[in-house]
A and B are shown apart, each in its own frame.
Chain A
Amino acid sequence: ELKVEQNPLFLSMQEGKNYTIYCNYSTTSDRLYWYRQDPGKSLESLFVLLSNGAVKQEGRLMASLDTKARLSTLHITAAVHDLSATYFCAVGPAQKLVFGQGTRLTINP
């Protein structure tokens, strides 16, 4: 059974700092997704990573995938308050995603 674990589950940081969220999964999978969720809202797709060594960047967020280690990271550079949200990783197959518990990120001015 595929299991997905994120850490940390809670992260409070100051604006301008860098930090990384980790996503480990238990069995081989063909794709990994990162989503953002604001309180009371739906999920917004951030990245989809399809192959070992894949790296994608959008603004202050960068995601990478190491399929051999079964690990993905979401790196936040020079955090700003607008990035406060809960971030989920999810592992495929695409028709049956398994989600991590989520990382609640709070960025303080």
Chain B
Amino acid sequence: NAGVMQNPRHLVRRRGQEARLRCSPMKGHSHVYWYRQLPEEGLKFMVYLQKENIIDESGMPKERFSAEFPKEGPSILRIQQVVRGDSAAYFCASSTLPDTQYFGPGTRLTVL
């Protein structure tokens, strides 16, 4: 049973470009969560999704950030017009019911 998969593992973007981060949850998991981790800090909740629905996006910045979890395919976290402050590790987690979350390996975004 494959774990949570994220790609790419490392992503480099120049300021103003778009970043797309993908997350495939564990088999059978329909709840997906995105977190951001700045260097030397804990994880900060961004958004919670179920298939085709955003349940809680209270941790998402109001501008430039969006997330989706379509009926088919992975969940996508999209960051438009990236800035240096977006450099961080972005982790996706999944669960069955709202329960113990299993984390993916993360995508480390570097904005030049």
Q: Determine the distance from Cα of A98 to Cα of B43 in the docked complex, in whole angstroms.
A: 8
Please encode chain A, from 68 to 106, with 1 for each CB lying within 8 Å of some chain B CB and 0 for all others.
Answer: 000000000000000000001010011111111110000
- A48 contacts partner chain B, Cβ-Cβ < 8 Å: yes
- B43: chain A residues at CB < 8 Å are 43, 88, 90, 97, 99
Interface residues on B, range: 20 to 34
- B102 contacts partner chain A, Cβ-Cβ < 8 Å: yes
- A97: chain B residues at CB < 8 Å are 33, 43, 45, 101
- B100: chain A residues at CB < 8 Å are 33, 45, 48, 94
Among B42, B44, B59, B97, chain A packs the most CB atoms within 10 A around the CB of B42
Q: Determine the distance from Cα of A99 to Cα of B35 in the docked complex, in whole angstroms.
A: 10
Interface residues on A, range: 20 to 34
Within 8 A of A (CB), among B38-66: 41-45, 48, 55-56, 58-59
| Contact surface of A with B, Cβ cutoff 8 Å | 4, 33, 35, 41-45, 48, 88, 90, 93-102
Tell me whether A102 and B41 are in contact (CB under 8 A). Answer: yes
Nearest B residue to A43, CB-CB: B103
Please encode chain B, from 80 to 105, with 1 for each CB lying within 8 Å of some chain A CB and 0 for all others.
Answer: 00000000000101010111111111
